[in-house]
Structure 1
């Protein structure tokens, strides 16, 4: 089995040696055991590299704290990863259920707003139809009244013309009468 020094592992993981030391301490606190040399320095094997890569992957997912990531890796190494994974999934499920509940509530609220808006639109459309109908009735009434007024005006004009004709005819008849009478008066006066 190949042994790696901390600098090699840090380069492989893309972290600083101090970060690697921090991750190693977290894993040890969770129960994971690293091999050590006579000077009590950690030396890493392929299994340690896999465990550390798993820790970095879990940390980068952002769903758990570093301590939770270290505990999950330890359980995974021990073979109990299913239990931890279910716990993580359960935590995610609770969080997503809360988010989903909020979204559902928002959708219901928006649906109610849309329903109210549609009702208002329907009411406004009905009011507009009623207003158009009233305006059409008023227009019809105005047109009928204008025709009646025009008819009465024409009747009045015709009556007046007829009266003026009769007056003119009467004056003409009276003038003729006076002319006839004037002729006889002049004739007898002589």
Structure 2
């Protein structure tokens, strides 16, 4: 098991900022693409703070995704499906990593594979839950915004109604005052 960790540790990884700069895209676009690939079963390494770490293989995949979506104008969903279906599935990638660490015994390698698969599944569930929370938050935010706009519209209407009523009262009072002055001057009854 130590050999697998050493093998992964020796592989050069890139930060999201480095990959975004390399591809000529924004960091938010890279996050969006990465989440889309993960939703379709692709797996990225994570650091201790749960940030994605991109290997050279991942950079190549993202460059291919870029070419499919930008140059060949494939929809992002289709491009992600194409890429994931052409890549080795997660268990096969894990088997390859385990096989490269030859001194590992067969029972340990299967346990390691199970643990890696369980970890990847857990990360995928966390990503899905996170995405659902974001969508829920966006819906609530839109609901609040629309309610605030409606409240502001109602307040403005109420204020306009109050101003109209005050103007009408002022007119009525002015007419009364004028009428009373004429009555006093000419003593009309």
> Normalising TM by the smaller chain, what interval?
0.3 to 0.5
User: When you count helix as a share of all residues, which structure comes out higher?
Assistant: 1
- Give the TM-score of the pair, scaled to structure 2: 0.44
- Give the TM-score of the pair, scaled to structure 1: 0.44
Whose radius of gyration is greater, 1 or 2? Answer: 1
Higher relative contact order (CA 8 A, sep 6+): 2
